Amino acid sequence: MTLEFPSREFDDAVAALCHGVASDEQMAALHGLLRTDPAARDEYLLRVALHARLASDPDLFAASGEDTGVGDTLVAGVPRITAPRDLRRPRALALAAGVVLLLGLAWWFRPGAAGRRGETSRAVAMLNRVVNARWADGEHLPRLGAALEPGPLRLDAGLAQIVFYNGARVAIEGPAELRLVSSSEAVCVHGRLTAEVPPQARGFRVGSPRLDVTEHGTSFGLKVDGERSELHAFEGRAAFRTNSNTASQALAEGSCAVVEGTGAPRLAAADRSAFADLFDLQAKSVAAEARRYDAWREAIRLRQRDASLWVHLDFEHGGAPAWRLPNSGARRDAAADATIVGCEWREGRWATKPALEFRGVSDRVRLDVPGTFESATLAAWVRVQGLDRQINSLFMSDGFAPGTLHWVIRGDGVLGLTVIGNGGAHQILASPPVMTLDQFGIWTHLAVVLDGPARQVVHFVNGRPVSRHALRMASPFRIGPAELGNWNANGNTDNDPFLIRNFSGAMDEFCLFARPLSAAEIGALFAEGRPQSDTLASREPNSFSEPTRRNP
């Protein structure tokens, strides 16, 4: 592996070093580059010093001696975040320089990867596709793209495809119950499924009440109905054993084995027509996505008539230049189109819809929203790839001008809204830690409502309120020059240049309303824009009176 400077590979290698997850290959390539490229060496030292500076002050945006308004949050004891301070202290900079030296030495004497501990996960598969899926009452509703841990999946109706971490793909049709056991094993309690098992998933096993299937690089169907189980071998040979016979039996391609009760298996011809819907899952999923996409486009056309929608960036750039995001809100005559700096276009919530990916420290979207308002609602669809900074920007006004807003995700998953007042006054309103690892890589709807007359702020995740706070800062509020996915200090002399806020992930839609949306309206924004079919999340709670309480 070789590195060039500047390049995204260089950025990734330095970031991996700072977070202690760099591979030996990355370390060797980085060492070779730094020995020969003075510019890369200077940039490397700046970034490591930045990381060391942030790491040297654990209280940065993490605690406050003043009332932040989180006393009435849904979860008591949530760590608070504070406003920016003057960080230009000789002691801190000396400490940062010392840590830089230590990090440099650590490259030569670092312990092996086996000595490091990191985040772990019990997940064994992921939910890959759904078509009109309706999950059983009382179940935790899996979201499209979600990591799945061992346990039952009960599908009342519709289709769902699960991809196991060993590479096997299983599609189920409701009503069905599939119990996930491991990354290479599942049990079909009842219902119909098809499985495609590539050679690298050799040994994948599916159990059932009457027979167990262990096949090698094949495609098969399994139907379980009470005392009767049917195994259909569509491609390749399938190996199975019954409860009454421990010896493994081979089922030839195109054949079917039927087991009823404790009787011996009967052979018949495989019947693909009995599993037609499952074989059509991909085509039906694409069609369902297209319908959802069209429904969202129609919904936003109606919503754009709302006079309070000052800014609406739908990320449907169409014929616009690739560096411009048109503002389709009602105040587009006052708030000009946004400008893309860095970032790259990627697939959005639907395969045919674009989104912007934020990766580097330079990536951002610039916009300017003139005027003042008494209340505001900010909402965005995001796909978080990682919380790389202590403070990760969603939408932040430049600098610290009075009345401006800073909407962020903290490194521990806390949502925060900072309201800047006069004379250095400020208030930070922080949710519980709600952006957890299981939400990384999944499209998530975030919103925050700032209600000036009611003096309150409410944070929302996927249409549900997660915390409420008393607001002490008085209106008017404003945005002015601002950024999505990053932050501009605006030459503030009290700001330390080491405070970087860049977002890591993708963004698909952004709304700014100059009024407080109700909980029902936030729920509607989520329902209109969620990528999966309506029935998948139709029973998600949307009531502030029944929150999910969590300990920090």
Beta strands in 120-227 (DSSP E): 125-135, 147-148, 151-164, 169-182, 185-196, 205-207, 211-215, 219-225
For 150-171, write each residue's pLDDT tens digit.
Answer: 999 999 998 999 999 989 999 9
Q: Which pLDDT score, from 0 to 100, does residue 465 have?
A: 96
Q: Is the pLDDT of residue 389 over 80?
A: yes
Q: How far apart are CA 516 and CA 504, in angstroms?
A: 28
**Is residue 164 within 8 Å of 124, Cβ to Cβ?**
yes
Q: What's the pLDDT at 457?
A: 96
Q: What is the pLDDT of residue 517?
A: 96
Topology of domain 291-536 in CATH is: Jelly Rolls (2.60.120)
What pLDDT is stored for residue 409 in this prediction? Answer: 95
Confidence class for position 416, pLDDT limits 50, 70, 90: very high
Which residues, 6 or more positions from 120, have their beta carbon under 8 angstroms from its beta carbon? none
How far apart (Å, rounded) are the C-alpha atoms in residues 157 and 409? 36
Looking at the predicted structure, is the pLDDT value of residue 487 above 60?
yes
Report which of residues 37 and 246 the model is more confident about: 37
- Quote the CA–CA distance of 307 and 332 in Å, as a whole number: 11
Q: What percent of the chain has pLDDT over 90?
A: 36
Length of the chain: 552
Tell me how far apart the alpha carbons of residues 110 and 153 are, in angstroms, rounded to a whole number.
43
Give the other-Cβ count within 10 Å of 507's Cβ: 24
Per-residue HEC secondary structure of 491-514 comes to CCCCCCCCCCCCCCEEEEEEEEEC
Q: What is the pLDDT of residue 170?
A: 94
Q: Sorting pLDDT into bands at 50, 70 and 90, what band is 100?
A: very low
CA 488 – CA 405 distance, rounded (Å)? 13
In the predicted structure, residue 492 carries a pLDDT above the cut 70:
no
Contact 254, 219 (CB under 8 A): no
pLDDT (average), residues 373-399: 92
Written as one string, the DSSP assignment of 71-110 is TTSSSTTPPP---------HHHHHHHHHHHHHHHHHHHHP
Work out the average pLDDT over 361-372.
91
pLDDT for residue 438 is more than 50: yes
Spatial distance between the Cα atoms of 355 and 394, rounded to a whole number of angstroms: 15
Taking the C-alpha atoms of residue 309 and residue 28, their distance in angstroms, rounded to an integer, is 51
Q: How far is CA 488 from each of CA 365, 476, 492, rounded to the nearest angstrom?
A: 11, 22, 9
Q: Which of 181, 486, 224 shows the shortest CA–CA distance to 361?
A: 486
Sorted by where each begins, the domain ranges of the chain are 125-279, 291-536
- Using one digit for the tens of pLDDT, what is the confidence trace for 44-88? 877 776 665 555 444 444 333 333 333 344 433 333 333 333 333
- Position 375 scores a pLDDT of 95
Determine the topology of domain 125-279 in CATH: Jelly Rolls (2.60.120)
Phi-psi region of 144 (alpha: psi -120 to 50; beta: other; left: phi over 0): beta
Decide if pLDDT at 145 tops 70: yes
Q: Inform me whether the pLDDT recorded for 322 exceeds 70.
A: yes
Q: Which band of pLDDT confidence, cut at 50, 70 and 90, is reported for residue 332?
A: low
Rounded (5°) CA angle 77-83-86: 135
pLDDT in tens, 494-547: 555 446 788 999 999 999 999 999 999 999 999 999 887 544 433 443 333 333
Confidence (pLDDT) at 194: 93
User: Looking at this protein, which amino acid is placed at residue 539?
Assistant: R
Question: Highest-confidence range of 340-344, 381-385, 486-490, by mean pLDDT?
Answer: 381-385
| DSSP-derived secondary structure letter, 57 | -
SS3 assignment for 500-551: CCCCCEEEEEEEEECCCCCHHHHHHHHHHHCCCCHHHCCCCCCCCCCCCCCC
Backbone dihedral region for residue 273 (phi beyond 0: left; psi -120 to 50: alpha; all else: beta): alpha
pLDDT of residue 216: 63
